[in-house]
Amino acid sequence: MKHELQALGCAGLAMLISAMPSATADSSAAQVTGSNIDSVLLSADTVGDILGTNLPVQLKGKRPSPEAQLDQHQECAPLLAPGTKFYGSDLNLFRITLFEDDRDDPDYIVIQTVATFPDAQTAQSVLTKGIQPTSECNATVQVTDIDSKPTWQLSAPKVSGSDAKWHQAQLYQGDPIGWNCYVDLRTAENTILRAEVCQMGNAGPAVSQMMDQMVGGLPS
């Protein structure tokens, strides 16, 4: 049953990733461009070392998906996955990777994204505008556009300047099952970076380590 309850329906996400076309080409002189954007994302081996597991399932994409549809509190949808509305029309390039330790019944789901914008100021403006509506999102929501209709207990993000962190716990018949997703969303240079790990227990330290390495790998 466990994999039927997990984050945003992994099968649906995998289908979106495999079918995604590229976002708009980056013609700006920003630091992260089409020539180096892929190097910002951590490899499956690097993330596996952080988590202490192997991650043989690896999917990639080049475009954000639409926000999830919720039964209530639709403004909280970016906490499940920032999507096309969140990133807006100033988005230049986008990359996403999905790693799992098992395709059918994963104990770990890892998502990384990097989105580029014309400049650092635009990236910060997009993050600030996109995250502001979620400031009161301590709420229980059900995702209605996935067959399994998973239910999540959301927590409002903790925002500090260029960084926003939050987590959500999946519920079954109203009770936590121990499956949690921890997210760090951060602006750096002309990018918005996202690191997310879903697992049983607390993935917060792993997510912070991932984000620090992603920022450290930005082209200088």
pLDDT for res 219? 85
**Domains of the chain, first to last:** 2-216 (3.40.1000.70)
pLDDT for res 13? 53
**140-161 residue pLDDT tens:** 999 999 999 999 999 999 999 8
Averaged over successive runs of 10 residues, the pLDDT of the chain (220 residues) comes to 46 46 47 94 98 98 96 97 97 98 97 97 98 96 94 97 96 96 98 98 98 92
**32-72 residue pLDDT tens:** 999 999 999 999 999 999 999 999 999 999 999 999 999 99
Biggest CA-to-CA distance, the chain? 51
Q: What is the 3-state secondary structure (H, E, C) of the chain?
A: CHHHCCCCCHHHHHHHHHHCCCCCCCCCCCCCCCCCHHHHCCCHHHHHHHHCCCCCEEEEECCCCCCCCECCCHHHHHHCCCCHHHHCCCCCCEEEEEEECCCCCCCEEEEEEEEECCCHHHHHHHHHHHHHHHCCCCCEEEECCCCCCCEEEECCCEEECCEEEEEEEEEECCEEEEEEEEEEEEEECCEEEEEEEEEECCCHHHHHHHHHHHHHCCCC
